[in-house]
């Protein structure tokens, strides 16, 4: 019998994940021992410090290219870049999560278990401070995402998937206002997420049957060498892809997105739209580029159809939305389609442009949800679009910021959205995927329409009786907004440094 021995672990390389998991555990501990009054500040500072520390380690480790933990974790250019992106976007989301200036007690409910509408619920709605468990939960989610983009075998990837999904399901249910909607969203997300996970896991089993291993290296080699029936390979790849496309919100696995984006507390929606997207596409990139690149010719047309469908559904349905959060959800779906176009370029350019897109989109989308948290009335956020009419007259600054964000989503030049789209479409064309680019260009023209409709509504309509005022953001939200808007502008005007960075990071280790 072989000796069982622990695999060698490069602790420096995995330090960012260890730090964050550690911080999250300490956070849970704090919930038990700290007095209630001290928890929020402590938790927030702890989480932010942990994220900053993890980011510093990533920067310090930026030249690391290793397989570690027995080949289960790959720390390479894409991993480090995407981990860095997740942390930076995570910090922004955490700033939104931590803000309590707009609403007494913050955006989160104090005790989610209290029955909605009961006497106790009414009491907690006005009196209690929001739950502080959200901070360790958020850090757990972010740490899981870090592991997800680093996972070098399918099982680690699955574990990471669950680690970052479960906290998100919980976080979705914690809205202070409209609690039923929030709980419904969480339940839907959980059920469908579990469903998608099952697909993923089944796919892993099938691929294991084909390759005799779950490491991407093994799978890559077995594509040419294995004597097993390729039915296992293809069915397995299809199911793994389904699991990942679910998280990425690609059609027809996007169905949860509008409901969940609408129901979840807005800061959490921001976290999902930015960080989950990075993680999902990070995982998808590694699966397709490292594990299954040998069958690229076979999956490109199928995933191409998925991409086209995703772009079409996202763009067309965005046109008819009347709720700003649902509108942004459909826009997020369409963006998943554009990202898929980049992924399917299946080249170094495809990898680097997709990574650029993820970062550019992440900054913009968090800022967008940041603005959504500001527009509110006595009942909380006013998300119905008719309520945004005439916002430009009431508060030109925030309407101006939101206009800029929408222009970036629409891909108008001199915003990061234009460069990002240009880069992914350019990469796809270079790889001969002209049909995807044609659909991409056409749908993005289409998608510009709902965005501009909002712009026109904000600036050119008279404010109605029901136009809410815009709350003055607390320092934390303001910081997140500034970061998001400045990044959107800078990446649009001078994208060269980040493009260089993504290009130099665009090499997987196998």
Partner 1 sequence: MHDTVEYAHASGLLSSVWLLIAIPLASAAILLLLGKRADKWGHWLGVASVGVSFVLGLTYFFQLRGLDNRAVELSLFDYIEVGSLHVDFGLLFDPLSAVFVLLITGVGSLIHLYAVGYMEHDAGRRRFFGYFNLFVAAMLLLVLGNNFVMLYIGWEGVGLASYLLISFWVERPSAATAGKKAFLMNRVGDAGFAIAIFLMFAQLGTTQYDEVFNGIGAVASGTVLIMGLLLLLGATGKSGQFPLQAWLPDAMEGPTPVSALIHAATMVTAGVYLIARSNPIFTANETLQTVVVSVGALTLLIGCIIGCAKDDIKRVLAWSTVSQIGYMFLGVGLGGAAYALAIVHLLAHGFFKAGLFLGAGSVMHGMHDQTDIRRFGGLWRYMRITWATFGLAWLAIIGLPPLSGFFSKEPIIVAAYEREGWTAWLFGTAALIGAGVTAFYMTRLFVLTFHGPKRWTEDIDHPHESPPVMTVPLVLLAVGSVAAGGLMASSVPDWLVPALGDHSGEEVHAVMSHGLITALSIVVTLLGAGLAYALFRNGTALQEQPAGPVVTAARRNLYADAFNEAVFEKPGIFLTRALVFLDNRGIDGLVNGLAAAVGGGSSRLRRLQTGFVRSYAMSMLTGALLVVAAFLALQLGWLA
Residues 302-331 interacting with partner 1 (rule: CB under 8 A): 302, 305-306, 312-313, 316-317, 319-320
Cα distance between residue 347 and residue 331, in whole Å: 26
Min. distance of Cβ 87 from partner 1 in angstroms?
A: 24
Using alpha carbons only, how large is the chain's radius of gyration in Å? 22
Select 256 or 363, whichever has its Cβ closest to partner 1. 256
> Which residue of 235, 478, 482, 509 would you call a contact of partner 1, by CB under 8 A?
235
**Cβ proximity to partner 1, 266 vs 300, nearer residue:** 300
- How far apart CA 312 and CA 402 sit, in angstroms, is 24
Q: Of 64, 197, 226, 230, which lies in the binding site for partner 1, with binding defined by CB under 8 A?
A: 230
Q: Which is nearer to partner 1, 139 or 173 (CB)?
A: 173
One residue of 20, 134, 427, 458 binding partner 1 per CB under 8 A = 427
DSSP 272: I
Given 22, 155, 166, 195, the residue binding partner 1 (CB under 8 A) = 195
Q: How far is CA 117 from CA 169, 178, 379, in A?
A: 22, 10, 15
CB of 65 to partner 1, least distance (A): 21
Size of the site for partner 1 (CB under 8 A): 77
495 binds partner 1 (CB under 8 A): yes
Q: List beta partners, residue 67.
A: 74
- Shortest spacing between CB 98 and partner 1, in angstroms: 30
Q: Which of 106, 435, 133, 185 is nearest to 300 (CA)?
A: 435
CA distance 507 to 510: 10
> Could you tell me the two tokens for 182?
């929030």
Specify the stretch interacting with partner 1 by CB under 8 A; choose among 50-58, 146-154, 373-381, 494-502.
Answer: 494-502
The mark string for 52-71 relative to partner 1 (x by CB under 8 A, - otherwise) is: --------------------
Residues between 108 and 147 that touch partner 1 (CB under 8 A):
none
Q: How far apart are CA 37 and CA 300, in angstroms?
A: 54
Tell me 411's DSSP state: T
* H-helix segments, 375-433: 391-394, 396-409, 416-430
Q: Nearest 5 degrees, angle CA 503-CA 346-CA 366?
A: 60
Check if the beta carbon of residue 347 is closer than 8 Å to that of residue 502: no
Which of 81, 361, 425, 508 is close enough to bind partner 1 by CB under 8 A?
425
Which of 41, 49, 120, 494 touches partner 1 by CB under 8 A?
494
Q: Which residues from 16-55 bind partner 1, rule CB under 8 A?
A: none
Which of 7, 117, 212, 301 is the binder for partner 1 (CB under 8 A)? 301
Per the listing, tokens 């075998």 go with: 153
Other CB atoms closer than 10 Å to residue 340's CB: what's the count? Answer: 28
* Helices and strands, counts by H and E, the chain: 21, 4
CA–CA separation, 406 vs 408, rounded Å? 5
Among 347, 394, 479, 510, binds partner 1 (CB under 8 A): 347
Nearby residues of 91 by Cβ (< 8 Å), 6 or more positions away? 48, 51, 52, 55
Three-state secondary structure of 243-274: HHHHHHCCCCCCCHHHHHHHHCCHHHHHHHHH
Smallest separation (angstroms) from partner 1 to the CB of 429: 4
Within 431-470, which residues bind partner 1 (CB under 8 A)? 434, 437-438, 441-442, 445-446, 448-449, 452, 456, 460-462
Q: Which of 152, 276, 332, 352 binds partner 1 (CB under 8 A)?
A: 352
Q: List the structure tokens of 65.
A: 């290219």
Q: Which residue in the set 28, 192, 296, 482 belongs to the binding site for partner 1 (CB under 8 A)? A: 192
| Out of 7, 117, 212, 252, the residue judged to bind partner 1 by CB under 8 A | 252
The verdict on 197 binding partner 1 (CB under 8 A) reads no
Is the Cβ of residue 28 or residue 482 nearer to partner 1 in the bound state? 482
**Facing residues of 68 across strands?**
73
**Binding to partner 1 in span 353-372, by CB under 8 A:** 353, 356
Cα–Cα distances in Å, from 170 out to 35, 132, 183, 433, 478?
23, 13, 9, 40, 26
Q: Please identify, using beta-carbon distances, which residue of 21 and 356 lies nearer to partner 1.
A: 356
Segment interacting with partner 1 (CB under 8 A) among 8-16, 230-238, 277-285, 371-379: 230-238
Structure tokens at 76: 């390479």
Residues 162-191, mask of contacts with partner 1 (x by CB under 8 A): ----------------------x--xx--x
Q: Shortest Cβ distance from residue 504 to partner 1 (Å)?
A: 12
């Amino acid at each position: 019998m072989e000796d069982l021995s622990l695999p060698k672990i490069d602790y420096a390389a995995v330090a960012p994940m260890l730090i964050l998991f550690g911080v999250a555990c300490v956070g849970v501990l704090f919930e038990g021992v700290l007095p209630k009054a001290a928890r929020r500040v402590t938790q927030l500072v702890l989480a932010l410090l942990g994220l900053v520390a993890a980011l510093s380690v990533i920067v310090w480790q930026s030249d690391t290219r290793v397989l570690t933990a027995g080949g289960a974790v790959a720390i390479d250019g894409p991993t480090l870049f995407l981990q860095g992106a997740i942390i930076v976007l995570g910090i922004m989301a955490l700033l939104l999560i931590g803000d309590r200036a707009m609403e007494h007690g913050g955006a989160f409910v104090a005790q989610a278990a209290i029955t909605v509408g009961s006497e106790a619920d009414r009491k907690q709605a006005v009196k209690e401070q929001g739950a502080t468990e959200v901070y360790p939960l958020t850090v757990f989610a972010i740490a899981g995402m870090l592991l997800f983009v680093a996972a070098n075998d399918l099982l680690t990837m699955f574990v990471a998937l669950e680690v970052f999904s479960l906290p998100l399901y919980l976080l979705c249910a914690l809205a202070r206002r409209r609690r039923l909607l929030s709980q419904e969203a969480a339940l839907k997300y959980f059920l469908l997420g579990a469903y998608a996970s099952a697909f993923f896991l089944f796919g892993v089993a099938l691929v294991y049957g084909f390759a005799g291993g779950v490491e991407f290296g093994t799978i890559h080699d077995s594509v040419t060498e294995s004597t097993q029936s390729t039915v296992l390979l293809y069915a397995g790849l299809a199911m793994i892809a389904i699991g990942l496309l679910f998280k990425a919100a690609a059609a027809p696995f996007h169905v949860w997105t509008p409901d969940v984006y609408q129901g979840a507390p807005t800061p959490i929606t921001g976290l999902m739209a930015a960080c989950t997207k990075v993680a999902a596409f990070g995982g998808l990139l590694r699966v397709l580029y490292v594990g299954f690149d040998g069958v690229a010719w076979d999956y490109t047309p199928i995933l191409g159809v998925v991409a086209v469908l995703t772009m079409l559904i996202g763009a067309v349905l965005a046109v008819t939305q009347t709720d700003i959060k649902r509108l942004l959800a459909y826009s997020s779906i369409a963006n998943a389609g554009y990202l898929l176009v980049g992924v399917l370029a299946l080249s170094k350019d495809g990898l680097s442009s997709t990574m650029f897109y993820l970062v550019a989109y992440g900054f913009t989308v968090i800022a967008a949800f940041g603005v959504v948290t500001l527009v509110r009335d006595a009942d909380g956020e006013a998300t119905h679009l008719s309520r945004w009419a005439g916002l430009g007259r009431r508060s030109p600054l925030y309407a101006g910021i939101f206009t800029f964000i929408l222009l970036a989503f629409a891909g108008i030049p001199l915003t990061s959205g234009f460069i990002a789209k240009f880069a992914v479409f350019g990469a796809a064309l270079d790889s001969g995927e002209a049909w995807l680019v044609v659909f991409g260009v056409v749908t993005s023209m289409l998608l510009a329409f709902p965005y501009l409709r909002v712009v026109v509504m904000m600036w050119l309509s008279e404010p109605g009786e029901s136009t809410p005022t815009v709350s003055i953001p607390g320092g934390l939200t303001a910081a997140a907004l500034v970061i998001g808007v400045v990044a959107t502008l800078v990446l649009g005007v001078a994208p060269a440094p980040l493009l260089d960075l993504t290009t130099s990071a665009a090499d997987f280790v196998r």
